[in-house]
């Protein structure tokens, strides 16, 4: 990873203060670094304090607020501390993720529960931490990282696909109500991106992206307040096509692809 200068560039974003959960690695970290380079004050949260502090040392405008996203009280406390120190959170990005690959023969209930807790409830707790203030101000932007795996149920990904599908539905459900209140909603659906999570995969990952261009796509989409930010287009096209096919055909194709 290239280590950017600690001096931020001129503000090129519509946000003064951004809060990112799951920011100690992966897309959360790379997006935090990119937004810091573009001049935002970035508050970052995750469980791993050492990684958060290492990122914040690279920038004068990045600040660490450790929190486990499965702990509702800790998430709320982190958001409150960040706002007390740096002002209202204009953009919240919830990017913490859990992924345990394997077939149902290897399913462990605790891993299934952790996937739902991190991927879904981690977003819900984040929303609870920032929405009251945004609703009071009548402005703000909330976003979270789902996945193209949320379009269809993929083999060996029961918990992951279920959690990501729920995140897409959550975004669809809250969009209309929050838009009327002046709050933008974005759901981010990446394909395979090279991170610590995907390093677990023992299978070929088509259209694998590096995290830097993925973060650039995320930030570009957020600046435009796009509801869905999805990439790469090849994976999006394939899986969205499968989603609209009748089940007898889509399930047969998914089986062959797997």
Query: Tens digits of per-residue pLDDT, 174-199?
Result: 999 999 999 999 999 999 888 777 65
pLDDT-derived band at 2, boundaries 50, 70, 90: very low
pLDDT-derived band at 202, boundaries 50, 70, 90? low
Per-chain mean pLDDT for the chain? 91
User: Residue 185 and residue 187: Cα distance in Å, rounded?
Assistant: 7
The pLDDT tens digits for 114-141 are 999 999 999 999 999 999 999 999 999 9
Rounded percentage of the chain residues whose pLDDT exceeds 90: 79
Decide if pLDDT at 6 tops 60.
Answer: no
| pLDDT digits 0-9 by tens, 45-102 | 999 999 999 999 999 999 999 999 999 999 999 999 999 999 999 999 999 999 887 7
pLDDT for residue 201: 65
pLDDT at 10 over 70: no
pLDDT at 199: 58
Cα–Cα distance, 44 to 36 (Å, whole number): 11
Superfamily of domain 17-257: NAD(P)-binding Rossmann-like Domain (3.40.50.720)
Pairing of strands 91-94, 41-45: unpaired
Domain ranges of the chain: 17-257
The mean pLDDT value for 211-231 works out to: 96
Tell me which residue has tokens 């946000």.
15
Cα separation, 118 vs 137, whole angstroms = 28
Nearest Cα to Cα of residue 219 among 91, 78, 127, 129: 91
Tokens matching residue 199: 């390093």
pLDDT at 1 over 50: no
* Residue 20, CA atoms < 13 Å, CB-side half-sphere: 33
pLDDT band for 3, please (50, 70, 90 cuts).
Answer: very low
How confident is the model at residue 198, as a pLDDT? 63
Active site residues: 160
């Amino acid at each position: 990873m290239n280590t950017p200068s600690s001096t931020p560039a001129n503000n090129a974003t519509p946000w003064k203060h951004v809060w990112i959960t799951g920011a100690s690695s992966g897309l959360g970290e790379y997006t935090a670094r990119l937004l810091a380079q573009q001049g935002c004050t970035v508050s970052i949260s995750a469980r791993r304090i050492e990684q958060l502090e290492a990122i914040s040392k690279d920038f004068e405008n990045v600040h660490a607020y450790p929190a486990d996203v499965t702990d509702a009280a800790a998430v709320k406390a982190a958001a409150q501390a960040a706002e007390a120190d740096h002002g209202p959170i204009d953009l919240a990005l919830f990017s913490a993720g859990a992924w345990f690959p394997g077939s149902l023969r290897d399913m462990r209930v605790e891993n299934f529960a952790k996937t739902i807790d991190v991927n879904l409830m981690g977003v819900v707790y984040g929303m609870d931490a920032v929405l009251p203030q945004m609703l009071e101000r009548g402005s703000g932007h909330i976003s979270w990282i789902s996945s193209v795996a949320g379009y269809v149920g993929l083999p060996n990904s029961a918990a992951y696909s279920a959690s990501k599908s729920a995140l897409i539905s959550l975004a669809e459900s809250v969009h209309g109500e929050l838009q009327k209140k002046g709050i933008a909603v974005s759901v981010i659906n990446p394909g395979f991106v090279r991170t610590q999570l995907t390093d677990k995969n023992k299978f070929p990952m088509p259209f694998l992206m590096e995290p830097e261009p993925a973060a650039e796509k995320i930030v570009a989409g957020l600046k435009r307040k796009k509801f869905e930010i999805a990439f790469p287009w090849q994976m999006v096209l394939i899986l969205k096509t499968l989603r609209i096919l009748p089940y007898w055909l889509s399930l047969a194709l998914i089986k062959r692809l797997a």
